[in-house]
Structure 1
Amino acid sequence: MDKITPKTSFGQWFSPINLQLFEENVKTMKVDYYTKKLTTESLFKLLLFAQLQEIESLHALTDCLFDEQLQKGIDLDSISISQLSRRLNGMNPDLFQRLFLDLVTQIHAKTHYTKLVMPLKILDSSTLPLNLTNHRWATFRKTKAGVKLHLRLVFMEKGTSYPEKAVVTTAKEHDRGQLEVMIDDKECMYVFDRGYLDYERFDRMTDDGYFFLSRLRKNAVIREVYDFKLPNDTTVLSDQMVLIGTTQNRAENYFRLLKVMDSKGNELHLITNRFDLSAEEMSEMYKSRWAIELFFKWIKQHLRIKKFYGQSEWAIHNQVLIALIVFCLHVLVQLETKSKRKLLQISRYLRAALWKPAHIWLRKIKGEAVP
């Protein structure tokens, strides 16, 4: 993959991609075995370009290949819509999944935690609608089809967060079914909403040494065991040790119930198995959930994930993974340059300087004057 070099802004942005990992997987998976023109290398670069430029269709994407700089950058001068569609629909998403996880590892290596007692990892999902006529395999209502992106987001202090694990299922998959898939690290604090409520799993997580903080339904059956004293200057309404559930469906462990007010003045009931932090600290942890809401909003608005290019399950998975890869590459640029620019601004500058020398883009990101 030597066609893109760090001499261009696109090449610099692309450079964290592990080329050895890419080539090894292409060879092992034999994805280029019968391919003559549209190689996996060219397809990958073209899909990254499409996400960056927010190209809305395969037809529009093939038209972009009139640009000689793009042709040179991806080593492809033209391609038919049918060929592009065939490759996208038949590409095993495992390749892009491995590249995404490798980028996550790189982000891990460049980040550290200072203020927080342990890392926060936020769980949530977002449903992405599909056309029912073209995606019968994703039917979840009589008149609707869709997939659900289940995500684990690492929350960092200075406003930077990044996706760490992603699972794509049909939209009818319940969030609770992914709880055990998403929880595998005892050195962090998991934060999630009411969609993941499951008393049996809460018991299992507590017995296995996992920490969590979740929102509890107000009509949940609870029995107060102990009422913790709150400091005078707190905004927390109450802090209690409780048992949750009915006699027939009750959690065996003791949990901590916090009642707090959100920014709109609504009372929230939070449940956790952690007793060593203050009520205020726990309340602040739950507020970090806004980060994953912002992530889903960002990825839908700016990576055009609402409009899918393919119809097969693999094609949908591939486009979601490409979007996540684009996001991670933006985060790596932000970390590497120590820029205070938001990811959206970094992306805009990249689009404006895509085939220009990399130093022009990097100086703009750093806020330096461009000669």
Structure 2
Amino acid sequence: MDKDTLFSSFGKWVAPLNRKLISDWTLEFGDDRYVKKLHTLAYLLIFIDAQLQQHRGLRDIVADIQHHEGFHSELGMDSISTSQLSRKNNKVSPELLQQLFCDLVGQISKQSQPDCSRIGNVKLLDSTTVSLCLSKYKWAEYRKTKAGIKLHLRVAFCDPDTVYPEKAVLTSAKPADRTEMDSLIDETHVTYLFDRGYLDYAKFNPYSLDRIFFVTRLKDNAIIESLEEFNVPEHSLMTRDPMVKLGQGKKQTNMVFRLIETTDLKGKAIRILTNRFDLTAEEIGDLYRNRWKIETFFRWIKQHLKLTRFYGEQEHAVWNQIWICLIAYALLLLTKLELSTSKSLREVGRLLKVMRFRYWSEFREVVHRKLLRSSKGRQKVSKS
């Protein structure tokens, strides 16, 4: 019997949380001083589970705690009130949750296999805007009639079918995507994929000098100067592959870049800009097509962790829930990696939802159980 057999599935799922980091933080800032019941760790466990269960509000969370004995042993309590949850959610520092998320990212990075191909390390940049009701979230106003927040995200490849969030910046919905380029693009010998919202010609020169690589899409009205054409293989989906400079006059870039021209499925022209000259035009095109994986990630967390539904209206409460959502995703991915299962992350999460207070050994057995076909379908009856 291994040492994890008597763990509950829930306990094993949240085990990667850095308890020492939480303890050191609460001791330094006194967050749990005079707290008798809802200490910071219990708050985290409750709200991480709420994201997995997709609870609609604080009342649903309270009801879940009261009706599940498994929660009583995990939390060391059998009841809690909505007002206690609300106060704690407004009080906990988003910076603590950000540090916990970064710690989990480090654990994922150690378990994921590095890309040994000649393409190397690839990361994706994008942002998603979450609309909010202006009357309830006035602090997040960005238009006269709208409120909203923006999650700027960098994700890394874990394997060909999986990406994981690696770095996040939370802002109101006002700032343009390119304002966060310095925060998200900070590593050399990495290829960053991003869309036209991150175009900033002034940054492209130092990127090339510092060996920071990028693949992006050029705007239709961009001014370019073609210098030399590379040969495009016959029957290639790429139509042109020239070396170019961007802009004109004093604003023209000093460095030379590469412009790959192709068309989409509707026949519309697409111009892909990069500073990688060691790859073929087809490889550059394939790289850019991978950018859709970050869109898939945003869709996943909005659908399966309900990022769009918030349990509080104050600024801290909203930021905290976004960090907790990212933490829940990271914990799910760590669980999937530990189990070495071919099941999708969605399937692992679905099984965890219904088995979270069963023994870890039972959960592990179900995850690895092969589905048996119980029906052969309609059988054609032969006439004798």
* TM-score (structure 2 length as normaliser): 0.91
How far apart are the structure 1 equivalents of 2:258 and 2:232? 14
Contact 1:150–1:175 (CA<8 Å) still a contact in 2? yes
In structure 2, the CA distance between the partners of 1:256 and 1:74, relative to structure 1 (3 Å rule), is: same
**C-alpha RMSD of the superposition:** 1.8
Contact 1:118–1:189 (CA<8 Å) still a contact in 2? yes
Percent identity reads 39
How far apart are the structure 1 equivalents of 2:42 and 2:6? 17
Q: Which residue is 1:177 aligned to?
A: 179
Q: Which residue is 2:100 aligned to?
A: 99
Q: Which residue is 2:39 aligned to?
A: 39
How far apart are the structure 1 equivalents of 2:158 and 2:241? 26
How far apart are the structure 2 equivalents of 1:217 and 1:332? 38
How far apart are the structure 2 equivalents of 1:264 and 1:74? 55
How far apart are the structure 2 equivalents of 1:173 and 1:114? 36
Gaps of at least 5 residues in structure 2 are: 373-384
> What SS does structure 2 have at the residue aligned with 1:151?
strand
Between 190-199 and 329-338, the greater mean CA deviation after superposition? 329-338
Q: Which residue is 1:302 aligned to?
A: 304
Q: Which residue is 1:17 aligned to?
A: 17
In structure 2, the CA distance between the partners of 1:342 and 1:265, relative to structure 1 (3 Å rule), is: farther
How far apart are the structure 1 equivalents of 2:147 and 2:107? 35
How far apart are the structure 2 equivalents of 1:368 and 1:227? 54
Contact 2:5–2:361 (CA<8 Å) still a contact in 1? no
Q: Which residue is 1:262 aligned to?
A: 264
How far apart are the structure 1 equivalents of 2:266 and 2:56? 37
> What SS does structure 1 have at the residue aligned with 2:170?
strand
How far apart are the structure 1 equivalents of 2:258 and 2:77? 59
How far apart are the structure 2 equivalents of 1:24 and 1:86? 21
Question: Residue 124 of structure 1: CA displacement?
Answer: 0.2
> What SS does structure 2 have at the residue aligned with 1:224?
strand
Q: Aligned partner of 2:304: which letter?
A: H
Between 311-320 and 245-254, the greater mean CA deviation after superposition? 245-254
How far apart are the structure 1 equivalents of 2:178 and 2:7? 47
Verify: 1:121 aligned to 2:90, yes or no.
no
Q: Aligned partner of 1:197: which letter?
A: L
Query: What pairs up with 1:143-292 in 2 under 5 angstroms?
Result: 143-292=145-294
Contact 2:5–2:359 (CA<8 Å) still a contact in 1? no
Q: Which residue is 1:109 aligned to?
A: 110
Q: Aligned partner of 1:117: which letter?
A: I
Between 115-124 and 20-29, the greater mean CA deviation after superposition? 20-29
Q: Which residue is 1:76 aligned to?
A: 77
Question: Residue 369 of structure 1: CA displacement?
Answer: 7.9
Question: Residue 209 of structure 1: CA displacement?
Answer: 2.2
How far apart are the structure 2 equivalents of 1:31 and 1:265? 58
How far apart are the structure 2 equivalents of 1:348 and 1:296? 18
Q: Aligned partner of 1:81: which letter?
A: T
> What SS does structure 1 have at the residue aligned with 2:273?
strand
How far apart are the structure 2 equivalents of 1:284 and 1:156? 17
Over residues 39-70 of structure 1, what are the superposed CA-to-partner deviations in whole Å (9 max), with x where a residue is unaligned?
Answer: 10110010011011000111221122222222
In structure 2, the CA distance between the partners of 1:354 and 1:156, relative to structure 1 (3 Å rule), is: closer
Question: Residue 263 of structure 1: CA displacement?
Answer: 4.1
Considering only CA atoms, is the larger Rg found in Structure 1 or Structure 2? 2
Q: Which residue is 1:58 aligned to?
A: 58
Contact 2:226–2:242 (CA<8 Å) still a contact in 1? yes
In structure 2, the CA distance between the partners of 1:5 and 1:187, relative to structure 1 (3 Å rule), is: farther
Q: Aligned partner of 2:104: which letter?
A: L
> What SS does structure 2 have at the residue aligned with 1:340?
coil
Question: Residue 193 of structure 1: CA displacement?
Answer: 0.2
Contact 1:5–1:11 (CA<8 Å) still a contact in 2? no
Contact 2:5–2:360 (CA<8 Å) still a contact in 1? no
How far apart are the structure 1 equivalents of 2:135 and 2:84? 22
Which of 135, 138, 158 pairs up with 1:136?
138
In structure 2, the CA distance between the partners of 1:74 and 1:360, relative to structure 1 (3 Å rule), is: same
Q: Aligned partner of 2:291: which letter?
A: R
Q: Aligned partner of 1:306: which letter?
A: T
Q: Which residue is 2:340 aligned to?
A: 338
Question: Residue 248 of structure 1: CA displacement?
Answer: 4.9
Over residues 87-138 of structure 1, what are the superposed CA-to-partner deviations in whole Å (9 max), with x where a residue is unaligned?
Answer: 1012101111111111110111111213352111000000011121121111
> What SS does structure 1 have at the residue aligned with 2:234?
coil
How far apart are the structure 2 equivalents of 1:6 and 1:118? 41
Over residues 236-273 of structure 1, what are the superposed CA-to-partner deviations in whole Å (9 max), with x where a residue is unaligned?
Answer: 11111011113253222111101123344432111111
Q: Which residue is 1:29 aligned to?
A: 29
How far apart are the structure 1 equivalents of 2:120 and 2:265? 25
Question: Residue 367 of structure 1: CA displacement?
Answer: 3.1
In structure 2, the CA distance between the partners of 1:116 and 1:60, relative to structure 1 (3 Å rule), is: farther
> What SS does structure 1 have at the residue aligned with 2:242?
strand
How far apart are the structure 2 equivalents of 1:274 and 1:309? 45
In structure 2, the CA distance between the partners of 1:203 and 1:220, relative to structure 1 (3 Å rule), is: same
Q: Aligned partner of 1:24: which letter?
A: D
* TM-score (structure 1 length as normaliser): 0.95
How far apart are the structure 2 equivalents of 1:188 and 1:88? 37
In structure 2, the CA distance between the partners of 1:228 and 1:318, relative to structure 1 (3 Å rule), is: same
How far apart are the structure 2 equivalents of 1:294 and 1:367? 27
Contact 2:352–2:363 (CA<8 Å) still a contact in 1? yes
